[in-house]
């Protein structure tokens, strides 16, 4: 368990006997001074900017900076999977922050929106104590004024968050093509990344002369605060800075451009689920940002994402349609961009690199994405054991499963994720249908590109000349490519095979219901073990028909208990009825047969009707 942190900010202190200190490790943070924890600098800002910002917005910058610094400073664990973690994934933070507008920040509705937004982004717990700032810290400390005395245009629709990736490039090109004035806010965490981003902006501005303003934002932390690499609250700091710029020019809100596959955040793999995958532009995150920043600005302030229903392939096509292909080499999509050398901007191993490469090749624009920009080739390069290899296998497996499923089957299998994503849209059913079609387009594109790569590397595969840890080599090993539902079933069978015989050492269960109750308890007790391998699945029981279901995997589980020989016929008939009931659906069905007395003499014959179906599996527990 991670020890909870008490974050004392801007020189704040608490008495030694204060309840907040109980069980918490103190973390001192500052955003200014001789040795700041996090450095923030807004560059090329118009001089009028300083006159238009309220003390509350200065507070917002500091609050977001402190949350980001604490996020970076406290490690979640040493590995992606909790099996080998030193500490659990979730963390507990309480911040004591002196502010200028303490009455506002201590309002219950403001604190609730702040806490829930951050918890959704990072999967952590947050608490805040805001006290009055006795010695003011001027906003000028965060500002580097440019040549402009005033902004060239005010009252625009949105400030555009410009990350320098493919999606934000497409969004900027789209906005420029519409003839609208554009204000881009960019995040520059390191100097080496800044050079490429500046070049990208110069080329982009040539396509919209006189209609584009760029506000680069430097955000980097002290070396001592760089332990945790996931940095999920960076998006909160990024959006907060965009809000500050938007408020200074009277913009109606902030706009992100990010494809819907990333925004929707379906459980592609255990390594990229929950907050481990970015929730920056998930519809719920944007709704929470909208509510919080509307409270802060005291007006209807909107944070949106027009690309929610677009795939990465759609995004790249937009770039081509806007004649922006030559700008692609100056974009960066890698999840590990902060840690890459200046000569190569993509690791080639993370899911973002896979997405980028697939989208570009799908659109036939490989010449604008040189292979030399990748440390390791996405398809044929070596992959380290663990997360790198698992991401490749699960990424392709996920796409293959989605391609095989019908739209109705996807709607059933991902009902909770889809429902959550469209919760705040006016036409939910229509929006859900669009998301499903988008997912199907994505799956078809991934499978199509993979097939092309297999053809290109067929000789190397046949002669075993391909790097054995590469994506192509690994996914061609069919034993590593079984469905997620089947792997989950095998884990369940292992838990029940170990647990049921022990649970019934001194008891002969009277009936099937009793076995189901004990099995349910065992699976609930093993919930964390299951979640470690399948982080997007939480065990939940439903003692109805079917006996259990796992919605995220589109899985049904039936448990049968032949107590004596005379029960075999009853169990056989029950299984036959279930085969009829579930056989023609997309649902994967597991039959668990608890047979402690070995009343079933021929397992192969007994299970033949089940294993004859590709979407069914049977396991015996004795």
pLDDT tens readout for residues 192-230: 556 777 788 888 888 776 678 888 777 666 555 545 455
Q: Is the pLDDT of residue 548 over 70?
A: yes
Question: How sure is the predictor about 616, in pLDDT bands with cuts at 50, 70 and 90?
Answer: confident
Rounded Cα–Cα distance for residues 325 and 317 (Å): 9
- The reply to whether 190 falls in a domain is no
Token representation of residue 420: 């959550």
The pLDDT of 150-168, averaged and rounded, is 85
Number of domains in the chain: 3
Say whether both 138 and 277 belong to one domain. yes
Say whether both 248 and 351 belong to one domain. no
- The reply to whether 376 falls in a domain is yes
The pLDDT of 522-550, averaged and rounded, is 55
More confident residue, 295 or 512: 295
Q: Is the pLDDT of residue 371 over 60?
A: yes
Strand, helix or coil for residue 131:
strand
pLDDT at residue number 152: 72
Rounded Cα–Cα distance for residues 233 and 122 (Å): 6
Q: 417, 446, 481: which is the final residue of a domain?
A: 481
Is residue 334 within 8 A of residue 165, CB to CB? The reply is no
Say whether both 343 and 282 belong to one domain. no
Say whether both 363 and 446 belong to one domain. yes
pLDDT at residue number 127: 95
Q: What is the pLDDT of residues 83-108, one digit of tens each?
A: 333 335 578 999 999 999 999 999 99
pLDDT at residue number 87: 39
Say whether both 143 and 251 belong to one domain. yes
- The reply to whether 20 falls in a domain is yes
- The reply to whether 181 falls in a domain is no
Q: 436, 460, 481: which is the final residue of a domain?
A: 481
The pLDDT of 121-136, averaged and rounded, is 89
pLDDT at residue number 86: 37
Q: What is the pLDDT of residues 599-608, one digit of tens each?
A: 998 888 998 8
- The reply to whether 365 falls in a domain is yes
> Which pairs from 50-57 meet CB under 8 Å and 24+ separation?
50/139, 50/140, 50/143, 50/145, 52/247, 52/248, 52/249, 53/139, 53/244, 53/247, 53/248, 54/101, 55/100, 55/101, 56/100, 56/101, 56/104, 56/296, 57/243, 57/244, 57/247, 57/296
Q: Is the pLDDT of residue 272 over 50?
A: no
CA max distance for the chain: 91
Residue 418 lies in domain: 339-481
Type and span of the H or E element at 168: helix 166-177
Say whether both 289 and 388 belong to one domain. no
Say whether both 369 and 358 belong to one domain. yes
Say whether both 595 and 616 belong to one domain. yes
Is residue 483 within 8 A of residue 397, CB to CB? The reply is yes
- In 3D space, the residue among 303, 319, 321 whose CA is nearest the CA of residue 333 turns out to be 319
Q: Is the pLDDT of residue 542 over 80?
A: no
Say whether both 258 and 230 belong to one domain. yes
The pLDDT of 344-355, averaged and rounded, is 89
- The reply to whether 174 falls in a domain is no
Say whether both 237 and 285 belong to one domain. yes
Q: Is the pTM of this model over 0.85?
A: no
pLDDT at residue number 139: 64
Question: How sure is the predictor about 33, in pLDDT bands with cuts at 50, 70 and 90?
Answer: low
Cβ-Cβ contacts under 8 Å for 489 (sequence gap 6 or more)? 555, 557, 588, 590, 617, 619
pLDDT at residue number 255: 95
Q: What is the β-pairing status of strands 159-161 and 253-255? A: parallel
Q: Is the pLDDT of residue 39 over 80?
A: no
The average confidence (pLDDT) of the chain is: 82
Say whether both 461 and 519 belong to one domain. no
Cβ-Cβ contacts under 8 Å for 186 (sequence gap 6 or more)? 162, 163, 164, 197, 201, 214, 215, 216, 217
Q: What is the pLDDT of residues 474-486, one digit of tens each?
A: 878 744 445 667 7
Q: 481, 510, 540: which is the final residue of a domain?
A: 481
Q: Which residue's entry shows tokens 């945790």?
A: 228
- In 3D space, the residue among 163, 12, 165 whose CA is nearest the CA of residue 96 turns out to be 12
Token representation of residue 512: 């099937």
- The reply to whether 329 falls in a domain is no
Q: What is the pLDDT of residues 377-411, one digit of tens each?
A: 999 999 887 778 878 888 888 898 899 888 988 88
Is residue 167 within 8 A of residue 198, CB to CB? The reply is no
Say whether both 283 and 346 belong to one domain. no
Q: What is the pLDDT of residues 475-515, one digit of tens each?
A: 787 444 456 677 778 888 888 998 999 999 888 898 988 99
- The reply to whether 173 falls in a domain is no
Q: In percent, how much of the chain has pLDDT > 90?
A: 37
């Amino acid at each position: 368990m991670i020890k909870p942190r008490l974050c004392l900010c801007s020189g704040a202190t608490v008495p030694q006997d204060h309840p907040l200190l109980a069980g918490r490790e103190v973390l001192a943070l500052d955003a200014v001074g001789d040795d700041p924890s996090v450095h923030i600098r807004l560059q090329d800002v118009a001089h009028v900017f300083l006159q238009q910002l309220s003390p509350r917005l200065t507070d917002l910058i500091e609050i977001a900076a402190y949350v980001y610094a604490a996020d970076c400073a406290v490690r979640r664990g040493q590995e992606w999977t909790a099996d080998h973690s030193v500490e659990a994934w979730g963390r507990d933070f309480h911040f004591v922050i002196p502010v200028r507008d303490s009455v506002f920040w201590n309002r219950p509705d403001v604190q609730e929106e702040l806490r829930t937004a951050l918890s959704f982004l990072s999967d952590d717990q947050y608490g805040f104590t805001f006290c009055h700032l006795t010695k003011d810290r001027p906003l000028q400390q965060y500002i580097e004024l440019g040549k402009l005395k005033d902004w060239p245009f005010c009252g625009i629709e949105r400030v555009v968050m410009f990350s320098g990736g493919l999606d934000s490039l497409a969004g900027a090109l789209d906005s420029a093509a519409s003839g609208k004035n554009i204000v881009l806010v960019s995040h520059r965490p390191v100097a080496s990344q800044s050079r490429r981003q500046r070049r990208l902006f110069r080329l982009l501005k040539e396509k919209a002369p006189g209609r584009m303003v760029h506000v680069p934002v430097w955000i980097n932390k002290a070396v001592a605060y760089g332990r945790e690499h996931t940095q999920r609250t960076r998006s909160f700091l990024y959006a907060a800075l965009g809000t500050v710029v938007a408020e200074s020019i009277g913009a109606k809100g902030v706009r992100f451009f990010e494809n819907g596959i990333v925004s929707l955040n379906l459980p592609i793999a255990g390594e990229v689920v929950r907050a481990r995958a970015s929730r920056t532009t998930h519809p719920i995150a944007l709704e929470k940002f909208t509510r919080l920043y509307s409270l802060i600005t005291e007006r209807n302030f909107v944070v949106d994402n027009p690309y929610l229903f677009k795939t990465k392939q759609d995004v790249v096509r937009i770039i081509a349609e806007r004649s922006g292909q030559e700008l692609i080499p100056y974009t960066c999509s890698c999840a590990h961009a902060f840690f890459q050398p200046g000569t190569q901007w993509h690791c080639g191993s993370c899911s973002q690199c896979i997405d980028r490469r697939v989208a570009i090749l799908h659109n036939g624009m490989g010449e604008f994405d040189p292979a030399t920009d990748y440390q390791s080739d996405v398809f044929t390069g070596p992959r380290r054991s663990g997360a790198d290899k698992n991401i490749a296998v699960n990424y392709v497996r996920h796409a293959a499963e989605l391609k095989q499923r019908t739209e109705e089957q996807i709607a059933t299998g991902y009902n909770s994720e889809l429902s959550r994503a469209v919760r705040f849209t006016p036409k939910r059913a229509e929006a859900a249908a669009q998301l499903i079609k988008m997912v199907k387009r994505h799956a078809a594109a991934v499978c199509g590109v993979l097939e092309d790569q297999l053809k290109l590397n067929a000789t190397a595969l046949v002669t075993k000349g391909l790097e054995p840890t590469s994506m192509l080599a690994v996914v061609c090993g069919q034993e590593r490519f079984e469905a997620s539902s089947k792997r989950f079933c095998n884990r369940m069978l292992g838990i029940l095979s170990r647990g049921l015989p022990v649970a019934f050492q001194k008891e002969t269960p009277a009936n099937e219901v009793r076995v189901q109750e004990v099995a349910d308890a065992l699976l609930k007790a093993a919930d964390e073990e299951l979640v470690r391998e399948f982080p997007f699945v939480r065990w939940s029981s439903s003692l109805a028909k079917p006996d259990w279901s796992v919605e995220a995997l589109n899985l049904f589980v039936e448990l049968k208990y032949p107590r004596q020989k005379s029960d075999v016929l009853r169990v056989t008939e029950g299984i036959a009825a279930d085969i009829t009931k579930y056989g023609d659906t997309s649902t994967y069905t597991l039959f668990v047969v608890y047979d402690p007395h070995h009343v079933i003499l021929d397992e192969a014959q007994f299970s033949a009707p089940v294993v004859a179906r590709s979407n069914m599996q049977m396991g015996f527990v004795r």
